[in-house]
Structure 1
């Protein structure tokens, strides 16, 4: 059955508490159920004890590794169960006690308390299944067909106790979903469990009808099975290793990184713990390739892989190869300041690490540029977090390379220059609307101005201000893909036409993703038609699943649409628009953000002394 290796138990205090609980319960049930009958055992009893003990130790020698990491499996439980069915509880516990003592002496490198916990687990499994067996009318001796249900239920209880204890340990260790952990646990180990439990019945029959010879036959069969399972799962681990590792660098590959990032973001969102991601780009790597060739460049990548692995493993952070000369370091429990300190220490150590040919680099040494992004509640998917780290990396490169930049920490002047350039770039794309739908062009410009003003009201820092304002400007870019006849139709849209219009958020997302500079604006494009109550599109996100500034964009986008004069459409006054915002507060709109926008608009109306008709900003 499964055993705990305890390789990670020091990480969690809750795992220590579980170990103490298991030990107390296991030792107690052993003392209660073991009647110290061995003082009265006959010579034949001792022969069988030693024979069964030898079988247990041999099978334990062929312990093999199973998923998840740290889960060890042996088939010695088939011996314990057979002994339980044939000789009873006390006899079986005597075998367990002797086996545990010998294992503790033989494996002295393993702490005594770890042996004690595994002994306690087995005690609970044996005594729990024995109680069920006796309750269902089973009794020691030959296997009886009439009691087959008692045997099946006893095997199931033995199995359930083992899976429950070991599965709960991994739940405490990895803090995932208990149901998912148990499902994964069963999926990977069910075949071994079934083989072990069925073999216990086979051994019971062999012992009763063939004695020592039957036990010998069983040992031969189970040893070959154990060896086969060991080889099978060794092969499984090798295949899994190749599937998740980058062969060039020995680091985890891109696919593994994406899965890990997704899991860590969910964990951070649930537990509220810090999480930081660093994107690394090796400075001037192309120059090294051009000078020495790709084979030499591959050796340098291998050197960097070893360097990152050796530095990251002790810090319990995960390095992966993202692609080309780009790497990622995922740092659970690290806020942006701790992450920056770690990355700067890593960068300086790489500067001091020699590799043949580094003299050709401008700095005369190996170096990298890195961008750091930390998880926030309004980051709704892994792609967004990668994009933020990539943006930070972009600024690290602009600062002269061999530096680490935290997303959002640039100077105001630097951001203002970039902001002005980005506004011009987006406006050039929006001018395509001038021939297709001039109203959408004007709407985008007005929403942009609203966003500029609201960024002051919300007191956004420079990075948030940039993405919010640019996102407001580009939010309807996907409408360029809507056919002219639908976009300019004055009559009511058909259901199919409405579905076409709704796809503009997905089309806009694809357009923005083609430009590295605008990837971070994707949430504003994709999510500005989501509703606070979850009734929007395209994903049906609700509440805080929608990033805060996307929720604010929904407010100002809707307000401008309802208060702007267009031919053949009803136009609301500012007062009517404000009333509509209040009516939809808590359903379509975030109540808190609606009130902020309404207070701003009411003040603006008073200042401009325009209480009735709306006007175009």
Structure 2
């Protein structure tokens, strides 16, 4: 396996191993140890191996840490580096003989890593005035610093291992792991001091007592972890199908969505709906319907077994599958194979439903870079699911903008409905209503020159009309205040995007508009609100709307600022391109204004001057 490693990984392993072996040969002292010392060294090594096996497990994610480092540090403080290196060597040697399935170079790397950690802790302890052979509780600084050095060397080597050997160790290294490590090392320091005191007072009995107590702690914590996991399983599982329930699904979706965005990995969501389940229920009864749900749940569990996928019951006869590190094409292939398999699987009573077999409709959506919330992924998967049903059921559909766009009649219906809402909600603020109408007009015209799908164009136009709907919650005296707003007043105004989102979310059919309502005050440089999103973290349509909204605000009379001319507003937008505004769309919008409005003004002025000259 060593030969299969990359060159830089081999070099890293060789360097660390050579350093570790050199430290051992320099610092260990096999020859001068007495028989009594060797008996004690063997006992210490046995304790290390025992505590390595009885690691302490903590919920919620089965985090565990071993107390072997507590023994190494305690021996280091009392007996020096020679005895500590001997204990380490014996422990690793026995582990090598016991764990024969583990490749040899991993044992060597572990030995070298511990050697580096021990020698670093030892010399930092001496450097800060620590004395070998006693435990000075009046001066804890040397102990603390030696542990910090021990910890830092460990984290650094593990980070480099992840960097060079990620395919071998298959680990992750993030802030959460770092914080957990800090907590475990604090416990390690405390217990190493406890062990040092016990060894100093009663050498053999102290070691025996410490080992027994840690083993008991390990057993107790394992039992506690088992009970915790059992209760969690019950809370997270759907009692009928045995799949994860809706709450666990939503929580896991948010976590995996955030991880996929951070790591820039593909992530797909599939929503499944059992076809004609109501008809099956009506003919066969609810008890038989429950058995069908159980049967389908078992098939889903079997399908995702051995993968990283998470299957859950979304509600009723709807199910969901979370598919990390999976593109929509891979998801489609997986779900379509499953659909055919289920079609060919008989279940009592399905011969009476329209397809005469067990079937499901499925919608798939893949996370896009512009998505900022997992709710968008659910909405798009849901749209794809409805599209699958509209195609006659028993099929799998992937969310595609051009397949799922609104038709013109639907768009006009939505436009009429939103316009009525805008009139009603913003009747108390005529300025905001007129502003919304102007932004709507600019968006309608500007969208025609952009490379947008019909669905994106309709979404932008509808979002432009209703983007300030949250201002209905802002007190009128703040909205109409002349002069600069106080800080607390400005904080209230900034909340209009969140209030707007809540209003729009009440109507499920307008979920596509939520990003425009909530994020049109985000800035390209990350200094906007409400989340401080940056660059392409902000959805494309929200970046476009931000420019249009700002342009109208600059060119409209307001009591607290001077109105800019179109030329001045265009210059301001170009000046802020790359900071407040997306530079690509800022350039296109200024071109649009110049061609659509400024050229018309210049033509009218020329005609006016020509007429004056004739007169």
CA displacement, residues 175-233 of structure 1 (integer Å, 9 cap, x when unaligned): 9774443113334x35752553234214422444xxx4454444433433333333344
Compute the displacement of 1:509 (Å).
Answer: 1.9
Cα distance in 1 for partners of 2:477, 2:142 equals 74
Is 2:89 the partner of 1:97? yes
Contact 2:478 2:485 in 1 (8 A): no
Match of 1:184 among 163, 175, 180: 180
Compute the displacement of 1:47 (Å).
Answer: 2.9
Where 1:457 maps in the other structure, the secondary structure is: coil
Cα distance in 1 for partners of 2:335, 2:409 equals 27
CA displacement, residues 100-139 of structure 1 (integer Å, 9 cap, x when unaligned): 3333333344444444443333333333333344555666
Contact 1:281 1:326 in 2 (8 A): yes
Match of 1:60 among 49, 52, 72: 52
Cα distance in 1 for partners of 2:544, 2:505 equals 22
Contact 2:70 2:191 in 1 (8 A): yes
Partner of 2:450: 458
Contact 1:530 1:538 in 2 (8 A): yes
Partner of 2:403: 411
Cα distance in 2 for partners of 1:13, 1:293 equals 65
Is 2:185 the partner of 1:193? no
Partner of 2:274: 282
CA displacement, residues 453-479 of structure 1 (integer Å, 9 cap, x when unaligned): 323311212332232232223334445
Runs of 5+ consecutive residues of structure 1 not aligned to the other structure: 1-9
Partner of 1:6: none
Contact 1:575 1:612 in 2 (8 A): no
Compute the displacement of 1:390 (Å).
Answer: 2.5
Cα distance in 1 for partners of 2:528, 2:46 equals 67
Partner of 1:5: none
Partner of 1:472: 464
Match of 1:29 among 20, 23, 28: 23
Where 1:411 maps in the other structure, the secondary structure is: helix
Compute the displacement of 1:564 (Å).
Answer: 7.4
**Aligned-residue CA RMSD in angstroms?**
4.6
- TM-score, normalising length from structure 2? 0.78
Match of 2:343 among 319, 338, 351: 351
Partner of 2:544: 552
Contact 1:167 1:182 in 2 (8 A): no
Aligned residue-pair number: 597
CA displacement, residues 221-275 of structure 1 (integer Å, 9 cap, x when unaligned): 3433333333344444445555655555454454554454444444444443333
Partner of 2:110: 118
Contact 1:82 1:203 in 2 (8 A): no
Cα distance in 1 for partners of 2:145, 2:6 equals 34
Compute the displacement of 1:578 (Å).
Answer: 4.1
Contact 2:159 2:173 in 1 (8 A): no
Q: 1:175 to 1:580 in 2, by over 3 A?
A: farther
Compute the displacement of 1:285 (Å).
Answer: 3.9
Q: 1:483 to 1:306 in 2, by over 3 A?
A: same
- TM-score, normalising length from structure 1? 0.78
Report which stretch shifted further, 98-107 or 492-501: 492-501
Where 1:376 maps in the other structure, the secondary structure is: coil
Partner of 2:595: 603
Q: Give runs of aligned pairs for residues 302-451 of structure 1, distance below 5 A.
A: 302-411=294-403, 415-416=407-408, 418-430=410-422, 432=424, 444=436, 446-451=438-443
Runs of 5+ consecutive residues of structure 2 not aligned to the other structure: 606-615
Partner of 2:200: 205
Contact 2:467 2:517 in 1 (8 A): yes
Match of 1:231 among 223, 228, 236: 223
Cα distance in 2 for partners of 1:485, 1:41 equals 86
Q: Give runs of aligned pairs for residues 59-98 of structure 1, distance below 5 A.
A: 59-66=51-58, 72-98=64-90
Q: 1:143 to 1:589 in 2, by over 3 A?
A: closer
Match of 1:505 among 467, 488, 497: 497
Cα distance in 2 for partners of 1:570, 1:36 equals 86
Contact 1:288 1:361 in 2 (8 A): yes
Contact 2:406 2:454 in 1 (8 A): no
CA displacement, residues 498-554 of structure 1 (integer Å, 9 cap, x when unaligned): 777665433432222122211111111223344556665545555444322222223
CA displacement, residues 420-463 of structure 1 (integer Å, 9 cap, x when unaligned): 44334434544547976777666555544433332331121233
Compute the displacement of 1:42 (Å).
Answer: 4.4
Where 1:366 maps in the other structure, the secondary structure is: coil
Cα distance in 2 for partners of 1:12, 1:71 equals 30
Where 1:370 maps in the other structure, the secondary structure is: strand
Partner of 1:107: 99
Partner of 1:7: none
Cα distance in 2 for partners of 1:411, 1:394 equals 12
Contact 1:30 1:127 in 2 (8 A): no
Cα distance in 1 for partners of 2:510, 2:530 equals 20
Cα distance in 2 for partners of 1:11, 1:293 equals 60
Q: 1:218 to 1:529 in 2, by over 3 A?
A: closer
Cα distance in 2 for partners of 1:492, 1:329 equals 53
Cα distance in 2 for partners of 1:579, 1:147 equals 66
Cα distance in 1 for partners of 2:384, 2:520 equals 25
